[in-house]
Amino acid sequence: MAQLVTTELLLLLAGVAAVWAARPRTELLNVCMDAKHHKEKPSPEDELHEQCSPWKKNSCCFANTSREAHKDISYLYRFNWDHCGQMAPACKQHFIQDTCLYECSPNLGPWIQQVNQSWRKERILNVPLCKEDCQQWWEDCRTSYTCKSNWHKGWNWSSGHNRCPVGAACHHFHFYFPTPAALCEGIWSHSYKLSNYSRGSGRCIQMWFDPAQGNPNEEVARFYALAMSAGAMSHGIGLLLLSLVPMLQLWLLS
């Protein structure tokens, strides 16, 4: 009897380990979000425009999406970067690159979460953005103006594009975003999280990279997918052991 129970327990544990080890890797790597302009699956796009071009070899965005990402008040989201006067070109480059990463990257799977929104069914949450990328974004936007600290919600859309809500005053970015973390984490409802890791560490997502050197975010996604798989497997095994306690107690008493 003891040998039979031990064998069954080992088989169950092996089964849980196999499921948790395999499932997250297939779902979290090389995937696109279920969102407004994303492809169903990543694929090459030879004509990606300018700042979106690093994702040519494997992209979740179409060429037309990449072109629109570089326009003011494009059809993508009708968002006006210049809602408090003209945004500095260096600052706007970061927002274009941010849009390219969001629309084109197939390496954000570990941070994709389901949402119930009219324009998308999935979003990213707490993507660890390399500290240099976040710091430079903040530095280059210090002289530009805005009227809100969360750009995901609360705008006046009566004109067909975003305008500052009544009572919201335009100030320099550093008024609403006093630190790099405040900008990168707050502006898109915690889509990003400021990482303590540097570019090239393999532990943070780079918003900017040289495609001639390969896509460094592939390694980062693999690392976090494996870490999540290990964590999920441990959690699943723990739950399984708890569920087997009553059976083991009965066996010990018999």
Task: Kindly indicate the confidence band of residue 107, based on its pLDDT and cuts at 50, 70 and 90.
Answer: very high
Q: Hey, how many other C-beta atoms are within 10 angstroms of the C-beta on 88?
A: 16
The answer, yes or no, to whether residue 8 has pLDDT greater than 50, is no
| Structural domain contains residue 18 | no
By the 8 A CB rule, do 35 and 122 touch? yes
Residue among 95, 125, 103 at smallest CA distance from 54:
103
Q: What per-residue confidence (pLDDT) applies to 175?
A: 96
- For 149-200, what is each residue's pLDDT tens digit? 999 999 999 999 999 999 999 999 999 999 999 999 999 999 999 999 999 9
CA-to-CA separations, 46 to 2, 74, 81, 128, 201, in angstroms, rounded: 62, 21, 27, 28, 28
By the 8 A CB rule, do 164 and 170 touch? yes
Q: How far is CA 13 from the centre of its chain?
A: 32
By the 8 A CB rule, do 203 and 128 touch? yes
| Structural domain contains residue 254 | no
Query: Which residues in 65-82 are b (16+ Cβ under 10 Å) and which e?
Result: bbbbbbeeebebeeebbe
* Domain encompassing residue 189: 26-234
Give the integer Cα–Cα distance in Å for 38 and 53. 16
For the segment 65-91, the average pLDDT, to the nearest whole number, is 91
Query: Which residues in 229-238 are b (16+ Cβ under 10 Å) and which e?
Result: beebbeebee
| Structural domain contains residue 223 | yes
Task: Kindly indicate the confidence band of residue 240, based on its pLDDT and cuts at 50, 70 and 90.
Answer: very low
Tokens representing 219? 């390694």
Of residues 78 and 92, the one with the higher pLDDT is 92
- How many structural domains does the chain have? 1
| Structural domain contains residue 188 | yes
Predicted TM-score (pTM) of the model is 0.79
| Structural domain contains residue 58 | yes
